[in-house]
Amino acid sequence: MIRGFQSVTVTRLELWGPETWLLCWPRSFSFLAGQVVILTLKPGGAERIFSLATGVREPEAGVLFNLVEDGELTPALANLRPGDLLWVSEPFGSFPGLEGPAVWIANGTGVAPFVSMVRSGLGQQKVLIHGARKLAGFLGRQELENLPGLTYYRCCTGEAHELVFSGRLTEFLEQRSWAPSQRYLLCGSAPMIVEVRELLFRKGIPFSHILAEVFF
């Protein structure tokens, strides 16, 4: 065993969207919804941080990942099969899912920690704004849009649908008023995080009420 890591056996690899997978293994640790783990295929090999996308009481732990064809790790992750070994770090991070009102903002697989929060019973009094290029990119949509207590908005730049906002999630945010007293949790690409944080500042949201998790 390498320091902070343990070997686990893959139980599932499910396609969640175009070149996006949910990778699962038996959960052997406790964690807080919103935390992350590091995955690697071998000690000393390529490593990457992923948000956990499963609930804190589920028998499996799992992460969402996009296939990056020239990436060091994700092509190999996409070729895993049940029974294969994987190395997983202890959970860490401070992107907490808490009870009470909050606005969640994500693009792409940045929705993963919010899926974990929903599956951990923290979806009440939340607004989730999710951005994607294509309609198939709204990962976990069926679960999220039918959850009582969660208001779910989709913002799509590449395809139109009568129930989806046509445009970037920043355009959606710009067109509406947002309460300064709310907590705002942002997860996704660095450009989105920077743009949304600046937008929220302009709308009077205090710095202390904005928490971000960046996916590189």
* CATH number of the domain encompassing residue 173: 3.40.50.80
Q: How many domains does the chain fold into? A: 2
Whether the CB-CB separation of 200 and 119 falls below 8 Å is answered with no
Q: Is residue 95 part of a domain?
A: no
Amino acid at 84: D
Asked if 122 and 201 sit in the same domain, the reply is: yes
- Residue 9 clears pLDDT 80, i.e. is over it: yes
Would 68 be classed as within a structural domain?
yes
Residue 126 and residue 44 share a domain: no
pLDDT digits (tens, 9 = 90+) for 112-128: 999 999 999 999 999 99
* Contact assessment for residue 148 and residue 118, using Cβ atoms and an 8 Å cutoff: no
Looking at the fold, whether 58 and 121 belong to one and the same domain comes out as: no
Mean pLDDT for 7-25 is 95
* Domain housing 116: 102-215
Is the pLDDT score of 169 beyond 50?
Answer: yes
Q: Looking at the structure, do residues 84 and 171 belong to the same domain, yes or no?
A: no
For residues 48 and 60, what is the distance between their CA atoms, to the nearest angstrom? 20
What is the pLDDT at residue 3? Answer: 55
Note whether 210 and 106 are same-domain residues.
Answer: yes
Same domain flag for 84 and 182: no
CA distances from 175 to 15, 20, 130, 168 (A): 34, 30, 15, 11
- Shared domain for 165 and 144, answered yes or no, is yes
Residue 12 tokens, joined: 């599932």
Residue 201, sorted as left (phi over 0), alpha (psi -120 to 50) or beta, turns out to be alpha
Token pair for 73: 């790790």
Q: What is the pLDDT of residue 69?
A: 86
DSSP state of 52: B
pTM here is 0.93
Q: Answer yes or no: do 68 and 143 share one domain.
A: no
Q: For residue 83, tell me if it sits in a domain.
A: yes
Confidence at residue 1, expressed as pLDDT on a 0 to 100 scale:
42
78 and 162 share one domain: no
Answer yes or no: do 127 and 172 share one domain: yes
Exposed, middle or buried by CB within 10 Å (0-12, 13-18, 19+), for 155? buried
Tens digits of per-residue pLDDT, 81-110? 999 999 999 999 988 888 999 999 999 999
Say yes or no: 209 and 127 in one domain. Answer: yes
| 193 belongs to a structural domain | yes
pLDDT in tens, 199-215: 999 999 999 999 998 87
Amino acid identity for residue 145 in this structure? E
pLDDT (tens digit per residue) in 45-83? 999 999 999 999 999 999 999 999 888 999 999 999 999
Q: Are residues 121 and 44 in the same domain?
A: no
